[in-house]
Amino acid sequence: MLLRTRLAAAMSGILLAAVVAGCGSGDDVGSGSGSGSAADDGKITLGFSQVGAESGWRTANTKSIQESAAAAGIDLKFADAQQQQANQIKAIRSYIAQKVDVIAFSPVVETGWDAVLQEAKAANIPVILTDRAVDSKDTSLYKSFLGSDFVVEGQKAGDWLVNEYKDKPGPVNIVVLEGTTGSAPANDRKSGFDEKIKADPKFKVIASQTGEFTRAKGKEVMEAFLKANPKIDVLYAHNDDMGLGAIEAIEAAGKKPGTDIKIITVDAVHDGMQALADGKINYIVECSPLLGPQLMDLVKKVKAGEPVQQRILTEETTFTQAQAKEALPTRKY
């Protein structure tokens, strides 16, 4: 009996340690101590919670963060949340328990972060937001937010469309593949785009649904759009991957992407740029995933107690088909 009790106590101890060290989801591929507590070798330890691996953009972003951490000599603890907010909260709590020096994360959705960020603040661990914002009134919960202006990205997409159809009669039937529901890029890319097209009633959004930022879901939703709507003039996809999935659906339906249906996407990852150069996409608004070097600079400054800007905007451009052909040979992602 006594032996069984001891065994049970030992097992529950092991289980607790596993939850704290492993974040309960994805891989914790920290390049550093791996001991379940922050490094004691003088290196800065950064706990990073990534959204997932849903898109080419995300893969390039993860690579940028991992390579930059290694180059900066920062001990990186990395967890993939598989697009689940609960997994991100678990990972952040694990980083707090491990007493990392700095926590950074790209929030899968905008709302619901105050409680866990209060916990980080109470533990005196500074937090940096990368890529996506949180919708919180208390800006003291994080030191800085590094990333794109998604509203501007949506506006750029809308501007291109308005210009493209300026001398053409309506109606212009638009379908939209939205990003992850509740995420900052889905919310903001929609509002920026809507703001630009609403001035002219000839632009009609006839269907709009999430494609969860993935190629597979983009294809599936586009198939349904095509079945339900005999006349689609334009597809606006909140990222390249959903646009690329939609291209497969359009071709399978016997239509020519880029010609029969004009396509606008966001990101400008390599596969998207190739489709743009091939004439299957008409316009791409760039969103840069290469946030690693700036993030590591921020981590060092925050750890040293130096002041940092609360908002750091990423520099971005847009691409036409001709510009994509020119840019492709030297494109980094």
For ligand AHR, the binding residues (CB under 6 A) are 54-55, 57-58, 131-132, 185, 213, 239, 241, 266-267, 287
CA 139 to each of CA 15, 89, 91: distance values in angstroms, whole numbers, following the listed order: 35, 18, 21
The one-letter amino acid at 281: I
- Identity of the residue, 75 or 286, whose beta carbon is nearer to ligand AHR in the bound complex: 286
Q: Buried b / exposed e across 34-45, counting CB within 10 Å, b at 16+? A: eebebbeeebbb
- Identity of the residue, 119 or 271, whose beta carbon is nearer to ligand AHR in the bound complex: 271
- Identity of the residue, 145 or 165, whose beta carbon is nearer to ligand AHR in the bound complex: 145
- Identity of the residue, 95 or 150, whose beta carbon is nearer to ligand AHR in the bound complex: 150
- Identity of the residue, 119 or 194, whose beta carbon is nearer to ligand AHR in the bound complex: 194
- Identity of the residue, 189 or 262, whose beta carbon is nearer to ligand AHR in the bound complex: 189
- Identity of the residue, 45 or 288, whose beta carbon is nearer to ligand AHR in the bound complex: 288
How far is it, in rounded angstroms, from Cα 224 to Cα 211? 11
The one-letter amino acid at 195: E
- Identity of the residue, 282 or 288, whose beta carbon is nearer to ligand AHR in the bound complex: 288
Residues linked to residue 128 through DSSP beta bridges, in sequence order: 104, 144
Task: Provide the minimum distance between the beta carbon of 272 and ligand AHR in the complex, in angstroms, as a whole number.
Answer: 9
Tell me if 109 sits within 8 A of 83, measured CB to CB. Answer: no
Task: Provide the minimum distance between the beta carbon of 213 and ligand AHR in the complex, in angstroms, as a whole number.
Answer: 4
Task: Provide the minimum distance between the beta carbon of 106 and ligand AHR in the complex, in angstroms, as a whole number.
Answer: 7
Q: Buried b / exposed e across 302-314, counting CB within 10 Å, b at 16+? A: beeeeebeeebeb
How far is it, in rounded angstroms, from Cα 212 to Cα 222? 12
Task: Provide the minimum distance between the beta carbon of 241 and ligand AHR in the complex, in angstroms, as a whole number.
Answer: 6
Task: Provide the minimum distance between the beta carbon of 131 and ligand AHR in the complex, in angstroms, as a whole number.
Answer: 5
Task: Provide the minimum distance between the beta carbon of 239 and ligand AHR in the complex, in angstroms, as a whole number.
Answer: 4
Q: Which of 201, 198, 260 is nearest to 230 (CA)?
A: 260
How far is it, in rounded angstroms, from Cα 210 to Cα 228? 16
Task: Provide the minimum distance between the beta carbon of 299 and ligand AHR in the complex, in angstroms, as a whole number.
Answer: 20
Q: What is the distance of C-alpha 129 from the center of its chain?
A: 12
Task: Provide the minimum distance between the beta carbon of 194 and ligand AHR in the complex, in angstroms, as a whole number.
Answer: 18
How far is it, in rounded angstroms, from Cα 58 to Cα 55? 5
Question: Phi and psi for 21 in degrees, rounded to 5?
Answer: -75, -35
- Identity of the residue, 57 or 319, whose beta carbon is nearer to ligand AHR in the bound complex: 57
Task: Provide the minimum distance between the beta carbon of 301 and ligand AHR in the complex, in angstroms, as a whole number.
Answer: 23
Q: Which of 161, 236, 151 is nearest to 197 (CA)?
A: 161
Q: Sheet holding 234-237: strands in order across?
A: 203-210, 172-178, 234-237, 262-267, 283-286, 318-319
Tell me if 211 sits within 8 A of 237, measured CB to CB. Answer: yes
